[in-house]
Structure 1
Amino acid sequence: MTPLDKPIKREVQIDDAPYVLTIDPDGLKLVPKGKRNGLLLRWTDLVSGDAALATALRASLEAR
C-alpha cells in the first residue's frame, strides 16, 4: 500500500459545477474551483463518527 504523505488534488463535477477535492494526511477538503474556503472532513472525525453526527444534524436543520 502506498502511504499518503503529500496532498492529492483532483477536479470533480458536482451538478455541473467544478470543485477541487484535496486528499491529504489530515483529511479531505472539497472547495469550489477558484475559491479558498470549502468543506473540510478530518480523518479522525470520520473514524470517530463525528462526521456522521454532523451530517445528520445538518440534514435535520435543512429539512425544516
Structure 2
Amino acid sequence: MTKLDKPIRRELAIGDKTYTITIDPAGVKVVEKGRRNGISLSWADMVSGDAGVAAALQGSVEK
C-alpha cells in the first residue's frame, strides 16, 4: 500500500460546477474551483462517524 504523505489534488465536475478535491494526511477538503473556502473533513471525524455532523456544522457557519 502507498503511504499518504503529501496532498493529492483532483478536479471533479458536478453538474455545471467544478470542484477541487484535496486528499492529505489530515483529511479531505472539497472547494469550488476559483474559491478559497470549502468543506473540510478530518479522517478522525470520518472514522468515528461524526463526518455528517462536522459537515453540517461547518456548512451552517459558512452561510
Q: Which range, TM-score by smaller chain?
A: 0.7 to 0.9
Structure 1 residue 10: deviation in Å? 0.3
The percentage of counterpart residues that share the same residue type is 57
- Give the superposed CA RMSD: 1.6
User: Residue type of the partner of 1:36?
Assistant: R
Equivalent-residue separation in structure 1 for 2:13 and 2:4 (angstroms): 24
Q: Secondary structure of the equivalent of 2:6?
A: coil
Name the residue aligned to 1:50.
50
Runs of 4+ in structure 1 off by over 4 angstroms are none
Q: CA deviation at 1:15?
A: 1.5
- Using the alignment, how far apart are the partners of 2:16 and 2:35 within structure 1? 16
Alignment TM-score, normalising by the size of structure 2: 0.81
Alpha-carbon distance between aligned partners in 1 of 2:41 and 2:14, rounded to the nearest angstrom: 18
For each residue in 1:9-31, what CA deviation from the matched residue of structure 2 results, as whole angstroms up to 9, or x when unmatched? 00000112100000000000000
Aligned residues: 56
* Distance of 1:14 and 1:40 partners within structure 2: 18
TM-score for the superposition, normalised by structure 1: 0.80
The gaps in structure 1 that reach 5 residues or longer are: 59-64
Q: Structure 2 stretches of 5 or more lacking a match?
A: 58-63
